[in-house]
Amino acid sequence: MLVRRYEMPWRPAYEGHAAAAWLAATAVLTFGGVSGVLPTALARPLALGCFACGVMRLAQALRTLVLRASLSGRAVQTIGTAELARWCGRPDQVFLGFGFEWRPVHAQRLYELAKADYREFALSPRLLAWLGHETDPQPDAQIGLPYIHGVEPDEVPLYRPLQNFEGGTLLVGTTQSGKGVALGCLVTQAVRRGDVVIVIDPKNSRRLRRIVQRACEDWREPGTFLEFHPAFPEDGVRLDFTFNWQKPTEIASRIQSIMPPDTASAFTAFGWDAVNVVVQGLIELEERPNLVKLTRYIEGGIEPVLEGSLRRYCERTLGSGWREQPEMKRLLHEAQRGNLKRPSEAASTELLALVTYYEQHVAPSQRHKAIDAQVRTFRHNREHYQKITANLLPVLSMLTSGDLGRSLSPDPFDPDDLRPIMNFEKIERAGHVLYMCLDSLPDPSVATAIGALALADLAARVGMRYNLGAHRRISLFVDEVSNVINQPLIEILNKGAEGGIQTTCAMQTLADLARRLGSEHAARMALGNLNNLIALRSKDRPTQDFVVETFGRTAIHTLRVGVSTGTDAHLGDFSSSYSTQLCESFEEMVPADVLGKLPNLQYFASVSGGRIIKGRFPILDADAPAAAVVSAGAGP
């Protein structure tokens, strides 16, 4: 028969009364044995037995009092980078703050507290200090209920193996619940480990930026920290998201990933084709594609690219004197007289002659596929072409306007622009730390496009790592992931672990992600690629349900007491009964409403394949003195 122990610590410490009685009996028996009132042979064992029972009851009473005293919780803790380094002693471990592993007994205590006001049972935290427990109670003015963390008085540093985070981590919490602090702690550890770190921050958190910068100052070589800010381009680097590719079609796929979706995907598919035609033409001319060139030739027309491609083709096939060929001379003459159909005003007479010659006098087996696509675009009705690229051109215009165009389409031969030109391959090889601010508050559309394009380029880089077998670890941190999530990011979450990239995404609610992806089903499918979950305070009910589903259920015991009395027909006759029943039911390991009552920086987490922990992150002071910074190999 399985015997289950039922614990109810939220009550007076009745064991203290029993301990006092047992210890009093010990004193009486001891006095009786010493004074000779009782025989020593009888008094001594009785006194020892009473003393043992008294100590046992006293320990039980103190245990209850310690649990009640711990209901005052823990105040927010601030540490410097040197102290964080002492806690992060092993590079193969991830420090997750302070707390304890959440077990069924803690869930039982939490459910019991839901039946009463915890203030009725709270004791002075001085009792904990007197008993040797380090404590700093949560102030009454702080957000959240302290007893959630106080169901366990014994708090320890929390560590999990680094390899457990290869499958991705989701950080969810409402505004000002501590996501930035948690990201700062995780980013600092990644910098300290020597990872290639990429932080995408849509809203430009100054605190997080300063933490990343300070981590680079403490543990990396000078010049490691790089930043990008659309509003302050002069202070950062230039980024070329079209530099790295293995196949030319990859560039068109990156641009497609940032295009707004359409119902039948026809406009998106044609946009991909329009970009690919230009890219193939530029490669044929031995020019490196960039966003500015793509915008110029899609919006202004393919004519310059096509003319250059046909000239090269004629030189290869007809020789340097191709203009003197009889048929070519005739066509040039016809074009000058206006006898050849002109699809657009931008087409020169020489281009008309070249296109006509290519169409009429070049055998299909000798034609070039890239030139065929350019001719097809050239012959396409210009008005219809502009309509079907209506989804594409606004996106390209956003990314190439003003200073942003010079930042995202850098010209290496511009003598007036001395900013470094970077791409993800250079960042990876040099071990840089890139902090990308997207400036989403004043310009959300551009911020979304930049972030999505960066993720598309990074996904392509991960694909190269697969093909080339490179495994230098990249730590990617995406704050406000609902602003930038796209199919490339989902691919990174799905397949990036084997490519050596560890991803941490932060969001506020499930609804934000569902709105971005189109449905809650799509949002849940995307989040299903993240193996670890860290949940701070959340007020949104669907988000709470998503979190508690991850934590699972446990058996909760409920004590039911029944008392009944009754009277008989005869005067003075009565009956009574008293019964107790211990019931068991499966409930959520963490009640959903508790997630909305968490204090700042406190969290529940499911890590390492279902291990549930209750913890709190300390605030990292990026301006603390650096004199005691510990090297990456030191222990705590």
Does residue 89 lie in a domain region?
no
Tokens 């605030």 locate to: 619
Inform me whether the pLDDT recorded for 255 exceeds 80: yes
Does residue 606 lie in a domain region?
yes
Domain boundary among 346, 379, 404: 404
Q: Please calculate the CA angle 105-106-111 and round it to the nearest 5 degrees.
A: 100
> Domain check: are 504 and 533 in the same one?
yes
Residue 539 three-state SS: coil
pLDDT of residue 115: 83
> Domain check: are 232 and 254 in the same one?
no
DSSP 420: P
Residue from 215, 101, 81, 105 nearest 157 by CA? 101
- Of 58-67, 197-206, 214-223, 541-550, the one with minimum mean pLDDT is 58-67
Tell me, what CATH number does 429's domain have? 3.40.50.300
Does residue 628 lie in a domain region?
no
> Domain check: are 99 and 41 in the same one?
no
Tell me the pLDDT band of 277, cut-offs 50, 70 and 90: very high
| Rounded CA separation 560/565 (Å) | 17
Inform me whether the pLDDT recorded for 492 exceeds 60: yes
Q: Report yes or no: 194 and 428 within 8 Å, Cβ to Cβ.
A: no
Does residue 149 lie in a domain region?
yes
Could you give the number of structural domains in the chain? Answer: 3
pLDDT mean over 166-183: 92
Tell me the pLDDT band of 199, cut-offs 50, 70 and 90: very high
pLDDT in tens, 338-371: 778 777 777 888 888 888 888 888 888 888 899 9
* Identity at 545, one-letter amino acid code: D
Does residue 413 lie in a domain region?
no
> Domain check: are 610 and 481 in the same one?
yes
> Domain check: are 213 and 256 in the same one?
no
Domain boundary among 404, 438, 460: 404
> Domain check: are 472 and 509 in the same one?
yes
- Domain extent at residue 389: 249-404
Phi, psi of 421 (to 5 degrees): -100, 120
Tokens of 474: 């990249």
Contacts (Cβ under 8 Å, ≥6 apart) of 164: 94, 531, 532, 607, 608, 609
| Rounded CA separation 172/506 (Å) | 6
> Domain check: are 452 and 380 in the same one?
no
> Domain check: are 255 and 368 in the same one?
yes
> Domain check: are 463 and 368 in the same one?
no
Phi, psi of 134 (to 5 degrees): -75, 125
Domain boundary among 369, 404, 439: 404
Inform me whether the pLDDT recorded for 636 exceeds 60: no
Tokens of 613: 């922990």
Inform me whether the pLDDT recorded for 631 exceeds 60: no
| Predicted structure pTM score | 0.87
> Domain check: are 170 and 54 in the same one?
no
- Of 362-371, 380-389, 412-421, 499-508, the one with minimum mean pLDDT is 380-389
Tokens of 252: 């068109």
> Domain check: are 332 and 381 in the same one?
yes
Inform me whether the pLDDT recorded for 632 exceeds 80: no
Tokens 């302070």 locate to: 98
Residue 381 three-state SS: coil
DSSP 260: P
Does residue 79 lie in a domain region?
no
DSSP 61: H
pLDDT of residue 626: 63
Q: Report yes or no: 622 and 556 within 8 Å, Cβ to Cβ.
A: no
Does residue 219 lie in a domain region?
yes
pLDDT of residue 125: 74
- Of 197-211, 215-229, 253-267, 380-394, the one with minimum mean pLDDT is 253-267
> Domain check: are 140 and 208 in the same one?
yes
Does residue 208 lie in a domain region?
yes
pLDDT in tens, 129-172: 777 667 778 888 889 899 999 898 888 999 999 999 988 999 99
